[in-house]
Amino acid sequence: MPKKIPAAFPTREQIAEFIRESTVPVGKREVARAFHITGDDRMLLKKILKELEAEGSIDRGRKRKLATPGALPEITVVEVVEINSDGEPIGIPSIWKDDARPPRILLAPDRPGSPSITTGERVLAKLRRISADLYEGRVIRKLGGPANRVLGVYDLGGEGGVLRPTDRKHRQEYRIDKRDSAGAQPGDLVVAEIIRAPRLGVQSAKVIEVLGSTGNPRSISLIAIHTNDIPTEFPEAALALAAKAKPVALGKRTDLRGIPLVTIDGADARDFDDAVFAEPDPDPKNPGGWHLMVAIADVAHYVRTGDALDKSAYERGNSVYFPDRVVPMLPEALSNELCSLRPHEDRACMAVHMWVDAHGKKLNHKFVRGLMRSTARLTYEQAQAAIDGHTDETTEPLVENVIRPLFTAYKALDQARRSRGTLELDLAERQVVLGADGTVASIRTRDRFDSHKLIEEFMILANVCAAETIESLRLPCMYRVHDEPDSEKLEGLREVLHGIELNLAKGQVMTPKHFNQILAKVRGGPNEQMVNQLVLRSQAQAVYSPENLGHFGLALQRYAHFTSPIRRYSDLLVHRALIRGLKLGTGALLDEELPRFVEMGEHISITERRAAHAERDAIDRFVTAFMADRVGAVFPGRINGVTRFGLFITLDETGADGFVPIRTLPNDYYDHDAVRHQLVGRSRGLTLTMGDRVEVRLAEADQVTGGLLFELMEGGTQGEVLSGRSAQRKMGFRQGPGQSPGKSRRPALPTSHRKGGKKPAKKGR
C-alpha cells in the first residue's frame, strides 16, 4: 500500500513546477528547504523526484541537480562565438550533442563595452536560465583558446609524425605532416592544434609549441600543468610591482620582535607564512591555561585590490605543489622573500593572541598588525626530534623556553579537539622522493608526527578566531564550509556497513562522532581501509562561501582560512576583512569587493579543485615512471574501488593506483553490486569486494598517460554460486533490454593463482 502523503506535503505538480521555474538546477536539499520537508518525509520526496525523472518531467544532471528537461548545467564550459554591438560576448555550450540549435548564452563583460574575452575563447561560466533557449552567464574563469588543442607526445609514423595524447581519456591519435611538426623530435612533449577533419579515421594536427623531451623527468609536472590549464607566467605588470616592493618599517604596527616566534614547515618548504609561540598564561584566574600566538605574513600590505598582483593571484586562486616544483600564487619576490617569515629578518605580519584554558578551550583572542622577527626556521622532523630528546645546534637553546611550551600547549588543544569530536579518518598520503637527477628515488607514506598536528591545531584555532571576529564585525567572511553529508550518500554507506554487521545511526542529526564510532570498530581489522574510504566518499566537498554552513569534519560552527595568504586567495580576503573591520591600516577590503563574494567563493573553490587534480595527476605520473621497469612483477595490494568495468587497486608498497579490467578476471560473468561495492561471479561464485586484500601483476605502465594496468593473481572470496537471473534477483538488479552483466572472457587462472593456492615467485624486469 503506498505511503499516505501528509496533508502539508506539496503535490507532485507543485514540486515539478518549482524545479522547472528555478533559474538554476536545484538539488533534493533545496527542494526540501523550499517546502519545509523534514524527517521521514524526505524519503517520500526522494520517491516523487525519481518518479518525475522517470516520466521525463525533470532531468537529473551534474552533481545530481534537478532541472527542466534539456536545461544546461548551472556551471558549464562556454565557447564565445560573437561579440554583439553592445560589446557583450555571446556564447554557446562547448559541448552540444542535440541536432537542435544550441541555446545562446549572454556573457557579462568585465567592463561594459570592453570585454576581456574574445571570439573563439572558452570560459567556465555560471548560468541563469532566462528562457528555454537563452541564458545569462557570469564568467568564473577563462579556459584559453578553443577546444581543438591537445597535449601529447610526438613520434614518427608511416607518413610523417604522429601525436599520442597524454590524457588517458583521449584515445584518438593525430597525424602530423613534417611541415607542421615545428621541429619536434620523437619523444618530445608538444601542444598541437587539430587542423583537419578525419581522413581514413585519423585526424590531422599541427604542433604549435614544443615543451621538451619526455625523457626529462621535469616533463611529468609539465603535463599536469598544461592538462589542467594551470597559469605559469605572471604578467609583466605583476612582476614589476613585486620587484618594487620594500620591507616595512614599524610605524603604527605592534612590535612583536621580542617574542620568540618560530616557523615549523616541511624540509623542502621555500615559503614560510606562519609562525607560532606559546607560554603559560600568567593570569591566576586561568590555572594551567596558555597564551598562544600565531603570526601570518601580511600579504595584504603588498597585494592591493584590483592591482596586477591581485588580478594574477585571483586568477590562480592558490599555489600548486608538485614533487619537483611549485607554481606559486604570488611572484617569488614576494612568496619566497618579503612575505616569507625567514629567520632573523624583520617581516610584516598579521598576528592573533589567543588564550585557552588547561583543557584547550578558547577563552579570548585579539588580532594585531605587527612587525615580527622569526627566531628560527624548524622542520617538522627537527622539532619532533628535539622534543623527543635529540637536539641539534639550532634546537638545543630553544627546547625549554620555546619548543616544549609549544608541544605542551598542543596537548591541551588536542584534548579540546577530541572533546569536540572531529572526524578521525586514517588515510595514508603518498610522498614522491626525487633523486638529484629529478627521477623518482622512492615512493613512501608521508610521515606524520605530533609536530605536524601541533601546527594544524594552532592554525585551526587561529582560523576560528578569524571567522568569529569578522562575523562579529558584520562584514562578509569567506568561510571554509564543509556541509553535512548528503542523505542519499549516507543511505548507501549504511547498506555497505550493514553487510559487515555494522550500524550507522539513522533518524537523528549526524555528527563526526557517529562516524568515529564506526571507524573505531574496524580499526586494525580487514575492513579498516574500505570503511575509511567509504566514510570519506560519503562526505560533502569542502568549499569557500560567504554563507556559513559550518565545518562538519572539524565539528566547528564557523571557520575561515586565515593562515596561508601566500598560497591561498581565500586567506587574503580574510586578512582584508580583518584589516577593514579592526581599522588596522591600508590594504583593507574595499566596497567594490563586497558584492562579489559569492562569485569569488565559487571561483577559488574551482581553482582549488583544479590544483588538487593537477597534483594528483602529477603524483600518478611520477609513480608510473617509477613502476615502468617493474612490469611483470607481482605486488600485494587492496581493492579501493569497484565498477562494472573492473577493479581499482592500491599497492601496499608504493600506494600506486591502477586498474584491473573486468575482461582480465577469471573466466565468468560478473554482476556489479553497486551498494555492496562488489563484483560477483555467477558460475564460480568469486566475490571481489572493496577493501579485499589481493595480489596483482603489473601488466602495463603507460608513461604517456600515467596509467597502470594490473592482472589479478590472487584474492577475493569464494561465495555462493549463483547463475543468471537468480544472481541479479539476489542483488536487486533488473536487467533491461540490451543490458548485460560484466563479462570476462579470460581463461581461468591456474590453481596456483587462485585464493589459497601457492603462487610461484615472480621477478620484475
Contact 273, 265 (CB under 8 A): no
Element (H, E) at 671: strand 668-673
- The reply to whether 631-753 shares the fold of 12-67 is no
Q: What are the helix and strand counts (H, E) for the chain?
A: 16, 35
**pLDDT score, position 374:** 97
Q: Has this prediction a pTM greater than 0.85?
A: no
Tell me which CATH code domain 149-214 carries.
Answer: 2.40.50.700
Q: How far apart are CA 214 and CA 589, in angstroms?
A: 45
Regarding the domain delimited by 75-144, which CATH topology (the fold level of the hierarchy) does it fall under? OB fold (Dihydrolipoamide Acetyltransferase, E2P) (2.40.50)
Residues 6+ apart with CB under 8 A from 628: 701, 703
Note whether 361 and 350 are within 8 A (CB).
no
List the beta strands (DSSP E) in 589-663. 634-643, 646-651, 657-661
DSSP bridge pairs for 105: 91, 135
Helices within 628-758 (DSSP H only): 724-730
Q: CATH: 1.10.3470, 1.10.10, 3.40.50, 3.90.320. Which one for 12-67?
A: 1.10.10
Closest-CA residue to 603 (of 238, 147, 124, 53): 124
The H or E element containing residue 689 is strand 686-689
- The pLDDT assigned to 96 comes to 66
How distant is the alpha carbon of residue 362 from its chain centre? Answer: 30
Which residue type occupies 604? I
DSSP state of 761: P
Q: DSSP secondary-structure letter at 741? A: -
Residues of the chain with pLDDT under 70: 1-7, 23, 54-70, 83-87, 95-100, 109-120, 144-147, 158, 168-171, 196-202, 719-765
What is the structure's pLDDT at 198?
52
Distance of CA 240 to the CA centre of its chain: 32
- Cβ contacts of residue 180 below 8 Å, gap of 6+? 161, 195, 204, 205, 206, 207
The pLDDT tens digits for 486-519 are 887 888 888 888 878 888 878 778 899 999 999 9
d(CA 281, CA 292): 9
Locate the domains of the chain by residue range.
12-67, 75-144, 149-214, 236-475+560-611, 631-753
Phi, psi (degrees; rounded to nearest 5) at 521: -70, -30
Where is 263: in which H helix or E strand?
A: strand 262-265
Residue 11 CA: distances (Å) to CA of 22, 332, 377: 17, 60, 64
Which residues, at least 6 apart from 710, have a Cβ–Cβ distance to it below 8 Å? Answer: 637, 649, 658, 659, 660, 696, 697, 698, 699
- The amino acid at residue 30 is E
* CATH class held by domain 631-753: mainly beta
Q: Which of 167, 292, 53, 123 is nearest to 617 (CA)?
A: 167
Cell reading at 337: 622573500
